[in-house]
Structure 1
Amino acid sequence: MTAPRAVGVRLPYGSVPAAVHAWVEHELGSPVVATSEQVGGMSPGCATRLTCADGTRAFVKAVGTGLNPDTPGLFRREVGVLDAIGEHELWARLLASYDDGEWVALLIEDVEGRHPDFTDTAELEAVLAGTDRLSAVLQERDVPETVDLVDVAFVLRKWADCLATLDDAPAEAPVPAWLRADPFGWADVLREHADRPMPHVVHWDIRVDNLLRRPGGDLVFVDWGAAARGPAWADPLLARLERVDEAWFDDSITTSPALREAGDEVVTAFLAGFGAHLAVRSVLAVDVNLPTLKDFRIRESRRMLGAVARRTGR
Structure 2
Amino acid sequence: MSAEGRSRLVWADLPDGVAHLVQEQLGSEVVASVSHDGGYSPGLASTLVTGSGERVFVKAVGESMNTFAVELYRREAAVAPLLDERVPAPAFRWSAEESIGGDDWVALAFDAADGPGPGDPWTADGIAAAVDLADRIGDLDAPAGLPAFADEQFRHWHEVAADPELSAGIAALDPWAGEQVDRLVGLADGWADAVAGTALVHGDLRADNMVTLAGTAAAVDWPSAVSGAPWVDLVCLLPSMVLEGAGEAEELLAMSRHAAAADAEAVNVVLAAIAGYFLHSSLQPPPPGIPHVRRFQRDQGLVCTRWLGNRLDGTRTLEP
State whether TM-score is above 0.5. Answer: yes
Partner of 1:66: 64
User: How many pairs were matched up?
Assistant: 305
In percent, how many aligned pairs have the same letter?
A: 24
Structure 2: runs of 5+ lacking an equivalent: none
Which string of whole-angstrom CA distances, capped at 9 and with x for unpartnered residues, describes residues 25-82 of structure 1? 2232221111111111111111111111211111110011111111111011111111
Partner of 1:208: 207
Q: Which moved more, 1:163-172 or 1:232-241?
A: 163-172
Is 1:169 equivalent to 2:171 in the alignment?
A: no
Residue type matched to 2:106 in 1?
V
Q: 1:192 to 1:89 in 2, by over 3 A?
A: closer
Is 1:29 equivalent to 2:27 in the alignment?
A: yes
Partner of 2:282: 282
Q: 1:77 to 1:276 in 2, by over 3 A?
A: same
Q: Helix, strand or coil for the counterpart of 1:51?
A: strand
Q: Is the 8 A contact 1:244 1:307 kept in 2?
A: no
Q: Helix, strand or coil for the counterpart of 2:71?
A: helix
Aligned counterparts, 1:146-185, within 5 A: 149=147, 151-155=149-153, 157-162=154-159, 164-165=161-162, 169-173=166-170, 174-182=172-180, 185=183
Aligned counterparts, 1:37-186, within 5 A: 37-88=35-86, 90-100=88-98, 102-117=104-119, 119-137=122-140, 139=141, 141-144=142-145, 149=147, 151-155=149-153, 157-162=154-159, 164-165=161-162, 169-173=166-170, 174-182=172-180, 185-186=183-184
Q: 1:293 to 1:142 in 2, by over 3 A?
A: closer
CA–CA distance in structure 1, aligned partners of residues 42 and 164 of structure 2: 34
Residue 85 (structure 1) shift = 1.7
Aligned counterparts, 1:241-280, within 5 A: 241-244=239-242, 248-280=248-280
Q: Helix, strand or coil for the counterpart of 2:7?
A: coil
Q: Is the 8 A contact 1:74 1:225 kept in 2?
A: yes
RMSD over aligned CA atoms reads 2.8
Q: Is the 8 A contact 2:157 2:181 kept in 1?
A: no
Q: Helix, strand or coil for the counterpart of 1:9?
A: coil
